[in-house]
Structure 1
Amino acid sequence: MSLRDQLAERDRAVGSQGDASRRMLLTGATIVTMGPPGVVRGDLLLRSSTIEAIGPGLADQVGQDAIVIDASGTIIVPGLIDSHLHAWEGQLRGVAPDADFGEYMSITHGGLALHYRPEDIAIAELLSAAQAINAGTTTFIDNSHNSRSRGHSDAAIEALLSTGIRAVYAAGSAQVGDHEGQLPADLLRLREEYFSSGQDLVTLRMFNVMPSVEQWRFADEHGFDLCAEMGFWVPDVEKLGESGLMRPGHTYNHCSGFSDAMWGAIADSGAAVNLVPRSDSQYGLGGFSPVLQADRHGIQIGISSDNELSYAHDMFAEMRTLLTVQRGLSFAAEYGGEADVPPRYGVEDVLRAATVGGALNTGRQAEIGTIEVGKKADLVVIALDQVTTRMFGSDIGAVVNCGSPAVVDTVIIDGKIRKWGGELVGVDYDALARSGEASRSHLLERYGVTEDDIRAGLRVAAES
C-alpha cells in the first residue's frame, strides 16, 4: 500500500494533535540527511518535536502506542527553508506575472500596501504559511515590510503562531504613505509580548529595506539579529562592509552588484547570505543571482523566493533555477577564459542551499537544516509513486529535478504532521482562499484598480 493510501486511511488528528510525548516511526524510507551519514535506507524515529534515531530496524525500539508509518517508496529530506519571503503579500499571488521591479514597487508599496488593514495582514500570513507547508517548506523568514501600525505587527505574529510553521518574523517599517513609524522601537514591545514565553517555533528579528549603520547599531544595542535587503541599490552599501557591524546573526538578501571587497567582508563576518534565483531575474535585480561570487568566497548560501506577486512559492522551482543559473554562469566564465571558476553545481548543492544554507540564514543551524539525532523533527516526505518521480535514477535528483508541491506527500514540523497524504492538516483551504479573495478585492477596490487594470498597465509599459 502506498504512503498516500495508507495515510488517507488513518485518523489525521492522531498525527497532528496526539500526545506530545508519543513516538512516531517512519519505516523503510530513503533518508537524505544532508549531514552525516549521508543517505540512509531505513527508519526514522521521532519523539515529540525531535529526531531520536536514524537507521535500519528501529521498530524494536518503540512500544505499541507508537505511530508507525510504512514510508517505503518515499524519500525523506530535511524541511525546506525559504530564507526571505514577504508573507504579508499572500493574497496578491500571481496578480502581476510579468512585472519588473519598478512595477512590483508601484503595485505593492506604492499602491495596495497603503490599504492593508491588520486583518489583511493576518489573512496573507495564513495564506503564505499554507502555501509554504503544501510545498514542503517547513521554515521561512518573514521579511514583513508593511508594518503600518502596532496592530499590523500583532496580526502578523498572531497569525504565524496559529499556523504551526516554523518562522522568523523580521519586523520592518512600511515603505510608503502614512504609518505609525513605530519601528524599530516597537521591537522591544514585540519581544516582551510575544517572544518571552518560551515558545520557539517563531522567533523575532529586525528587518531593514535600506540598511544603515544607525539601524545596525540599534540592533546591537538591544540584542536583535536582523535581516536586510542588500545590493547595489542601497546607498553607501560598501560602507556597511567597513563598519565593523557585520556579524553572525545578520542575514543578507540578494547581494547583487557587490565588489570583491564587500564579498570578502561578508565572508569574514560570518553573516548569512541568501540568493533569490527567480526574483533576481524576474524583477531585474542584477539579472542573475551572484552565485559565483558567493562561491568564490566560500559562502554557503541559502535560497529564497521573495514574494508571490508573479509566481507561486515553490522551493523546488528555486532550486532548479539556481542550478541552471550557477551552471550557466560557470560554463560562461570557463568558456570566457576566466581563472578560478567555481565548480559547477550538482543537485546536492542546491538541496544543501535549501536546507543547510537556509538554516544558517535563520541562525538555527544547530536545530534544523539536516536530519540528525537531537535536531528538530522538520521533515518532508516525497512520494516516489508519482508520474514525475517514479523510475528516476537518482534519489536527490528525484527531489530536485522532479520535485514539486504535488509530490510532497507529508510534511512534519516540530514533530507534528502538517500535511498528510497530500492534503493540508487542520486547514480549511477553501474557506481560507475565499477570505484571501475577499481581502484582495477590498485592497483593489480601495486602490481603485482591477486585476485587469494591473495587467493592462504592465502590457502598456512593456510596449512603450
Structure 2
Amino acid sequence: MMNLSDNSVPQQWTTGRPVVLGNVHVISMDAGIGDFVGDIVIEGDTIRDLGPRAGRPGDALVIDAGGAIAIPGLIDGHVHAWEGALRGVSPDSDFMTYMSLTHGKLAPLMTPEDVAIGQALTAARALDQGVTTIVDNNHNVRSAQHAEAAIEALRAAGIRTVFAAGVGMGQPDEHLLPLLLQLRTAYDDDLTRIRLMQAFPTVEGWKFAVEHGLGVVAEIGGWVEDLDSYLNSGLLGPSFTLDHCAGLSGTQWSRIADSGAAVAVAPRSDPHYGLGVAAPVLQAERAGVQVALSSDNEFEYGSHLFEEMRQLMSAQRGASFAATQAGEADVPRPWGVRDALRAATAGGALAADFAGRIGVLKPGAKADLVLLSTEHLRPIASELGAAVSYATARDVQTVVVDGRLRKWAGELVDVDWPALVRQGEDSRDRLLAKAGSSVEELRFEGQLVLD
C-alpha cells in the first residue's frame, strides 16, 4: 500500500488502472452520501464507488491517505486566463485604469504565444490551489491562432475548461461567430467546452449561440444599457452564465432565476473596482439562485478560491445580519461553511453547465477532487471548517482532474514552474516594452489617490 508521501505514485497512477484513496475524510457535497471516513475508488475519468466500505478492485493502486480531507475539485466560474502573465502589474488600479492598461495598451500587442503563456500560468496556479475547472472568459481572441494557442495551453495543463471566446475591447467581431463553430468541431469535449463570451452582450450574438447550441457568458450589471431587453429576450437558459450581476433589481433577479441561467459573483473584484459594495449574494438567494464563485483576474490581486469562499461567506453574513437588524422580511439565514463550499463546487458546476457531474463526489461523477493535507491544519475540530475557513494552497496535497493526477505531494505534476514563470516574466516585459512602459511606471500609474 502506498501513502501520500510516496514519490512513485505519479508513475504508477495511470488512466487504465483503478485507484483507491483509502482512509480519507470525505466531504462529498452530496446530501444523500454526506461526509464519512472511508475510500474513494477512481476508474478512468469517473468515481466508481465511495464510502466507508467501498469495493476495492483487486488490481487497484491503493493509497492510504492518512486521514486527509477530500473535497470536490473547486470551480472558478469566471476568470480571464489570458492575463496570467500580467499578475500584479497594477495592484491599485480602478476599473477604468484596468481597462486602459489591459485592453487599451497590452491586449492588442499580444501574440498567440503571449496568450498561451498567460493561459498556462493561470491554469497552473489554479491547479496548485485546488481548482479543477475554470470558466475562461477569453475576451482577447484576435484571431483563430490566438484562440487555438489559448485552448492548447489549457489542454496541455490538464484543467477542465469552459473556453468562452470573445473579442478584444473595441475590436470588430465579424470573425468570432463562425470561429466558435470551428473551435467546437476541433475541441469540444468533456475537458473543453466552447462558448461565446460577450463583455457587452448583443441579442444577435445570443441568438447565434442559442441557434447553434453554444453556451454564453456575459458580464452584466446596472451598467448594461437596456438590460431588460436581454433578460426578457427568451434566450436565457441553463447554458448561460451571467457574471457580476451588480446593481440588479428584484424583478431582474427573478427573470434570471426563472430562466435557469447561472450566476458567478466576484467577492473581491466587485468592491475593488467599485461595481458594488459587495457581491450581490443576498439578492441572488432571495431570488432562489445558487451562485458560483469567481476570481475574475490577477491584475491587482491573486486568485485563490479558498479566499474567495471566505470573502463571500463574510459578505453574505454581513448582509444577512444587516437586513435583519433593519427589520426586513424574509431575510436569508447567515451562511455557514458548507454554504461557502457549495458556491465553490456545486454552484461552479452550474456555471460550467456540468451540474451533477463535477462539484460533487458521488458514484458516476467525474473524478475531479482535491486532497487537503491536515499537517498544517491541526488541531482540527471540524474537517469541513478546516477546509473552508483555514486551508490555503499549501494544504492542497493532491489534485485530480478527469481521473488524471495533476498535483501530488504538494507539487504540480509535469510542470516546470520556474521555467513557466520565466516565460511569463519575459512575455510581460516584452509587452510593456512595446507599450513604452515598465512595471514600475504602471504600478504607480494605477495607484489610487486616497485623501
Same fold (TM over 0.5): yes
Please say if residues 133 and 165 of structure 1, whose CA atoms lie closer than 8 Å, have aligned partners that are also in contact. Answer: yes
**Distance in 1 between residues matched to 2:437 and 2:173, nearest whole Å:** 26
* Residue 280 of structure 2 is aligned to residue 290 of structure 1: yes
Please say if residues 246 and 280 of structure 2, whose CA atoms lie closer than 8 Å, have aligned partners that are also in contact. Answer: yes
Shift of 1:10: 2.1
Of 157, 161, 170, which aligns to 2:155? 161
Secondary structure class of the residue paired with 1:369: coil
**Distance in 2 between residues matched to 1:431 and 1:267, nearest whole Å:** 45
**Distance in 2 between residues matched to 1:33 and 1:463, nearest whole Å:** 45
* Residue 255 of structure 2 is aligned to residue 268 of structure 1: no
**Distance in 2 between residues matched to 1:194 and 1:411, nearest whole Å:** 23
Of 214, 227, 252, which aligns to 1:224? 214
Residue ranges of structure 2 left out of the alignment (5+ in a row): none
Greater alpha carbon shift after TM alignment, 399-408 vs 48-57: 48-57
| Residue 190 (structure 1) aligns with | 183
| Residue 69 (structure 1) aligns with | 63
Secondary structure class of the residue paired with 1:61: coil
Provide, for residues 335-389 of structure 1, a one-character-per-residue CA deviation record: whole Å limited to 9, x for no partner.
1222221111000001000000000111111311100101110000001111xx1
**Distance in 1 between residues matched to 2:64 and 2:178, nearest whole Å:** 50
**Distance in 2 between residues matched to 1:161 and 1:247, nearest whole Å:** 27
Tell me the percent identity: 47
| Residue 248 (structure 1) aligns with | 238
| Residue 136 (structure 2) aligns with | 142
Shift of 1:190: 1.4
**Distance in 1 between residues matched to 2:3 and 2:343, nearest whole Å:** 28
**Distance in 1 between residues matched to 2:237 and 2:90, nearest whole Å:** 36
* Residue 413 of structure 2 is aligned to residue 462 of structure 1: no
For 2:10, the aligned partner's letter is R
Provide, for residues 296-339 of structure 1, a one-character-per-residue CA deviation record: whole Å limited to 9, x for no partner.
01111110100111112210000000011111111111112222
Secondary structure class of the residue paired with 1:392: coil
For 1:397, the aligned partner's letter is G
Please say if residues 77 and 348 of structure 2, whose CA atoms lie closer than 8 Å, have aligned partners that are also in contact. Answer: yes
| Residue 428 (structure 1) aligns with | 416
Secondary structure class of the residue paired with 1:289: coil
**Distance in 1 between residues matched to 2:298 and 2:11, nearest whole Å:** 30
For 2:218, the aligned partner's letter is A
Shift of 1:62: 2.0
Please say if residues 173 and 181 of structure 1, whose CA atoms lie closer than 8 Å, have aligned partners that are also in contact. Answer: no
Please say if residues 2 and 63 of structure 2, whose CA atoms lie closer than 8 Å, have aligned partners that are also in contact. Answer: no
Provide, for residues 412-432 of structure 1, a one-character-per-residue CA deviation record: whole Å limited to 9, x for no partner.
011111000000000011111
**Distance in 1 between residues matched to 2:430 and 2:156, nearest whole Å:** 24
* Residue 34 of structure 2 is aligned to residue 38 of structure 1: yes
**Distance in 2 between residues matched to 1:281 and 1:291, nearest whole Å:** 13
Shift of 1:176: 3.6
Secondary structure class of the residue paired with 1:34: coil
Alignment of 1:89-128 (within 5 A): 89-128=83-122
Check 1:3–1:347 CA distance in 2 against 1; reply closer, same or farther (3 A cut). Answer: farther
| Residue 49 (structure 2) aligns with | 53
For the aligned residues, what is the CA RMSD? 1.6
Secondary structure class of the residue paired with 1:277: coil
Shift of 1:289: 0.6
**Distance in 2 between residues matched to 1:122 and 1:69, nearest whole Å:** 35
Secondary structure class of the residue paired with 1:215: helix
**Distance in 2 between residues matched to 1:105 and 1:310, nearest whole Å:** 12
Secondary structure class of the residue paired with 2:177: coil
Check 1:402–1:456 CA distance in 2 against 1; reply closer, same or farther (3 A cut). Answer: same
Secondary structure class of the residue paired with 1:109: helix
**Distance in 1 between residues matched to 2:237 and 2:226, nearest whole Å:** 18
Please say if residues 2 and 62 of structure 2, whose CA atoms lie closer than 8 Å, have aligned partners that are also in contact. Answer: no
| Residue 380 (structure 1) aligns with | 370
For 2:21, the aligned partner's letter is L
